[in-house]
Amino acid sequence: MMFTRYIFALMVAVSFASVGNAAEDESPDWNTTTLTGDWGGARSSLYNKGVSMEFTHKSDVLSDTSGGIKRGTAWLGHTEARIKMNLEKLWGWGTTTAYIHYHSQLGSKFNTNYVGSFVGVDNIEAGANTAQFYHAWIQKSFSDDRLSVLAGLYPIDSEFYVTDTSGVFIQPPYGMANDMAQSGQNGPPIFPIGALAVRVKYTSPGKNFYLQGALTDGVPGDPNNPHGTHIQLNKGDGTLSIVEFGYTPQGGEPPFEVAKPGELVEPEQKIHEEHESFNKTAIGFWRYSSRFDDLIDVDALGNPLRRVSQGVYFLAERTLFVEKDHPAQGLSGFVRFGTASRDIHQADWTGSLGLRYHGLISGRDDDIAGIAVTINHASDKYQRLTPSLSRETDVEATYRAQIKPWLALQPALQYILNPNMDPIQKNAWVVGMRLEVAF
């Protein structure tokens, strides 16, 4: 398609771009932090011209050992290519960044075929095996980077409703929570699909507060064709709007620098940090402009009443303590709660909380252990519509072992109580292992 050809042409042009007066930054140690190294100096050369590249692959093996739909084992794969371009270095466009993120999904539909959980069991599982663009946008910053405007193909779960402490978990609701993930005709623009969007973000001078908002296409991708990248602005799609206000106090030790959308953080920057501190509280609101069918209520002609789809969410994460002699290690936690319109959605609220410990085992300073629980509550109308239990509860315990800077292994154990809120399905136990490689 034309969009794909355009992005490919842009990538090729950038790869061969030459900026003679670009100041050369110190390049990351690619030979240590990636499997494929510096490509004979090509990676460092591109980096000094303003082009950063990251290639990763995840392979998951999961097994339903009891309960759910049926017992069985399956493999899932996910491969990503990310390119960030500093357009000030490349072409002299001051404080402007471009970002492209392309990914592919492979393997079984494990939750669909074996478990049947409302939450899902693996955050790389998608509805169809395909390859597509996830991000493809340009961002301009103003006022000493306090104000930024982004436009292009964009997924909201890269910045909205995000807690960094929950990112270690394999279950999907620790990315975008299910109260919002269940919404929309083709879902909201979250993994694995982005949507045409405009996002504006303002950060206060002391970086203690931020306010961000996005307006996106109301139907990302093509509901009738899950394969490849599709950007359509069809009549009746409407829009999705989301706003988030956050408090991120900057006092105390220097905060742990986390990756923002398009901010590639090389593997050696993700580990061996001098300090690690999480302190964020945020509240958000989302709403679709189009209306959706009520689960039960109809008008005088027997047609479903049309309702507004909207929700509110709250999140907080904190560093609870750090080790005295190792400030990059310690215990952090998060809590999240969100609501969705009870007339049209299966879950009218969801909540989750969790703990993670960086460097729990002596001598394994870069490993992360975590445990988390999520509750999804069935709306009154969903319970009336179909024989249903009142909730599904999901627990995950995981341990991410950093074997090498470019290689991680992550075993995980999950327990799903009342899968899909279905009284017929038995509680499920799932064990799995993730392999992650940075090329």
How does DSSP classify residue 11?
Answer: H
pLDDT at 65: 97
What is the spatial distance between Cα 288 and Cα 239, in angstroms, rounded to a whole number? 6
121: Cβ contacts below 8 Å, ≥ 6 apart: 62, 110, 111, 115, 170, 171, 172, 414, 416, 430, 432
CA distance 403 to 381: 48
Cβ atoms of 425 and 67 within 8 Å: the answer is yes
* Residue 327 forms part of a structural domain: yes
In 10 A of CB 210, how many CB atoms? 18
**Dist. CA 25–CA 305, nearest whole Å:** 59
- Residue type (1 letter), 273: E
Give the integer Cα–Cα distance in Å for 353 and 373.
6
CA 189 vs. chain centroid, Å, equals 11
Cα 401 from Cα 271, distance rounded (Å): 12
Please answer whether residues 100 and 133 qualify as being in contact, where contact means their C-beta atoms are separated by less than 8 angstroms.
yes
Q: What is the DSSP letter of 227?
A: S
Asked if residue 115 lies in contact with residue 430, where contact means CB atoms within 8 angstroms, the answer is: yes
Using CA atoms, how far apart are residues 435 and 407, in angstroms rounded to an integer? 7
Give pLDDT, residue 251.
Answer: 62
- Tens digit of each residue's pLDDT (9 = 90 or more) over 274-317: 567 899 999 999 999 999 999 999 999 999 999 999 999 999 99
For the chain, which residues score pLDDT lower than 70?
1-26, 251-275
Helix (H) or strand (E) run with residue 137 in it? strand 131-142
Cα(305)–Cα(299) distance, rounded to whole angstroms?
6
C-beta separation of 82 from 264 below 8 A: yes
For residue 255, the 8-state DSSP code is P
Contacts of 346 (CB under 8 A, 6+ apart): 118, 182, 378, 379, 382, 421
Scanning the structure block, which residue is given the tokens 């509240």?
A: 283
**Domain of 415?**
2-7+50-225+236-258+269-438
The two structure tokens encoding residue 58: 């995840």
Query: Percentages helix, strand, coil for the chain, rounded to the nearest 5?
Result: 15, 45, 40
Residue 15 domain flag? no
List, in order, residues 6 or more apart from 112 with CB less than 8 Å away: 125
Is residue 263 in a domain? Answer: no
Question: Is this structure's pTM higher than 0.85?
Answer: yes
User: What's the farthest any 2 CA atoms get from each other in the chain?
Assistant: 72
What is the pLDDT, as a whole number, of residue 388? 87
Distance from C-alpha of 352 to C-alpha of 350, rounded to nearest angstrom: 7
Query: Where do we find the tokens 């709660």?
Result: 337
Both ends of the chain: CA-CA distance in Å? 28
- Is position 280 within any domain? yes
Residue at 262: amino acid letter: G
**Phi, psi dihedral angles at 102 (to 5 degrees):** -120, 135
DSSP line for 396-419: EEEEEEEEETTEEEEEEEEEEESG
Q: Number of folded domains in the chain?
A: 1
Of 191, 139, 133, 148, residue with least CA distance to 11: 133
pLDDT at 274: 53
Residue 62 belongs to domain with CATH number: 2.40.160.180
Give CA angle at 377 (373, 380), nearest 5°. 175
Structure tokens of 421? 């809120």
Helix then strand count (H, E) for the chain reads: 8, 16
**Residue type at position 369:** A
pLDDT reported for residue 396: 98
Cβ atoms of residues 129 and 62 within 8 Å: no
Query: Which residues have a Cβ under 8 Å from the Cβ of 10 and sit 6 or more positions away?
Result: 98, 100
CA distances from 65 to 88, 121, 323 (A): 53, 13, 37
Residue 375: inside a domain, yes or no? yes
Q: Enumerate the β-bridge partners of residue 99.
A: 84, 137
State residue 324's pLDDT score: 81
